[in-house]
Homo-oligomer: A and B are copies of this chain.
């Protein structure tokens, strides 16, 4: 018996067609050819996907569970995505809903190297949520972004990340920005004594990402942000392997384009790939995630029952100071609150506003 794992799809279909649809997905995501044309018995028994369960949700959709062969994944995170959703993503009535990642793949990909415990140990932060903000807007000169970073750090925030729009543009080269922002945050840290971390956004192809990560390390930094859906899963896998001391923050950009359930993509898969923290759109902000989607995503990110470390959930996307208490009650302390634009509105008073944010998180009485 070969190693297999269950993949769950939600399929919009009528009851008369669902059995055939389910069988078609099982074939599409494994051998992608008529079974009648396969004369190798081992392929039919060991490789072809098997429909294990079909459940009617009663809303015009069915949950289809398909059993897939782990051997088809090989060692490659990109191929993993290819095997679970490659061609089926082209059907606009199918959503990839869940994957029961087998122990062999969990061990292969490895999950967070640091995760929540590693980040807590690095910053010495216990018993409260983390705080963070973002450097924006792109187009601002690196020295102006560095000024912002220094104000945030002087306010006592834990993390200051690049906006995911900051790449290596003519108006703001990565090397210039990162050395300026790292120096600015280091100045503030010397004064405040609080170990604020600056998180550069890593972009480009794998060579460029590695070069940026080396610059990041040379600037004395130990955190970096990556975008798995744009960089490609295999690139993230390579970075996790090559930069073991880096804590990786995963950004969800382009994450909506593939019709993969957010709790699976951002909560489970980004963590599986090695994200130590996962940024996601909080409910009630600029994006349309429901509270139960966020709860499910966070449960996936923090799980430890598979032997991997828990990843830090980072709800974001239009958060405000006024919502701090409510967000903390919803997510609990193993969370990082990311407030970007709302803090920037304070302009000259950014350090004070950041300090108020840090205080409200530190003093929050969890219900």
Contacts and interface: CB of A to CB of B under 8 A. Distances in A.
A42 B256 contact: no
Contact of A204 (B39, B78, B168): B78
A5 to B, nearest CB: 15
A89 B255 contact: yes
A137 B32 contact: yes
A289 to B, nearest CB: 8
Contacts of A253: 82, 86-87, 89
Contacts of A252: 87, 90
A203 interface: yes
A254 interface: yes
A28 B78 CA distance: 28
A126 interface: no
A10 to B, nearest CB: 14
A43 B93 CA distance: 41
A341 B34 contact: yes
Given A205-B238, A257-B90, A31 B169 contact: no
Contacts of A90: 252, 255-257, 281, 287-289, 317
A230 interface: yes
Contacts of A258: 92, 229, 254, 256, 259
A231 B86 CA distance: 12
A104 to B, nearest CB: 12
Interface in A43-83: 43, 46-48, 69, 71-76, 78-79, 81-83
Contact of A139 (B36, B42, B169, B170): B42
Nearest to A252: B90
A230 B233 contact: yes
Contacts of A40: 137, 139-140, 144
A75 B169 CA distance: 7
A366 interface: no
A110 to B, nearest CB: 15
A78 B230 contact: yes
Interface string A131-146: 0000011111000100
B28 A79 contact: no
Nearest to A136: B33
A232 interface: yes
A92 B256 contact: yes
A87 B91 CA distance: 22
A206 to B, nearest CB: 4
Given A71-B171, A87-B253, A232-B232, 5 more contacts: A40-B140, A76-B204, A82-B167, A87-B287, A206-B235
